Amino acid sequence: MLRANGTSAGGSSRFALFVEPRYRWLLRLFGVRDGNAWVELGDDLHARFGWFDVRTPLGNCVHWSIEGPWRAITALGVRRSFRGGDLTFGGTPRGGGRIDFRDRVPFAFFRIPALYVTVADLEGFAAALTENGIPGEDRRRQHP
């Protein structure tokens, strides 16, 4: 059960993924509804986005970064990049968090090296990862 601050009684923290209202119709194609797009940090990192999920031990997470913004065509839905094989659970092109893995994580027929998630509370997510000994940085592009 989650407490008001997003921390559960078992010591895990859940962070909702931000799904922009104007893209909700599109993200329903991936099974995204209210309450089923989130990342949970505990003994494992467990990310859920509609019908899709990824789980790995938290010790397999070696680095995080906050990145973006991106183009909507490359950021929305469940996407796997051709270049690096990274996976995205994206509900907004405004930006998100990237988690790099030590060992590739199974997802469908693939093994992914990193996961992008459009967490609503990016700073809180980054702080929770840092508190768990995972280093990272804010790489967002600054607009003049």
The boundaries of the domain holding residue 31 are 13-138
Q: What is the pLDDT along the chain (144 residues), one digit of tens a residue?
A: 333 335 544 578 999 999 999 999 999 999 999 999 999 999 999 999 999 999 999 999 999 999 999 999 889 999 999 888 999 999 999 999 999 999 999 999 999 999 999 999 999 999 999 999 999 999 986 654
**Domain for residue 32, yes or no?**
yes
Nearest to 39 by CA among 59, 58, 21: 58
**Domain for residue 19, yes or no?**
yes
**Domain for residue 33, yes or no?**
yes
Please report which residue ranges of the chain form alpha helices under DSSP H: 24-27, 72-75, 122-131
**Domain for residue 85, yes or no?**
yes
Q: What is the pTM of this model?
A: 0.89
Instruction: Give the number of domains in the chain.
Output: 1
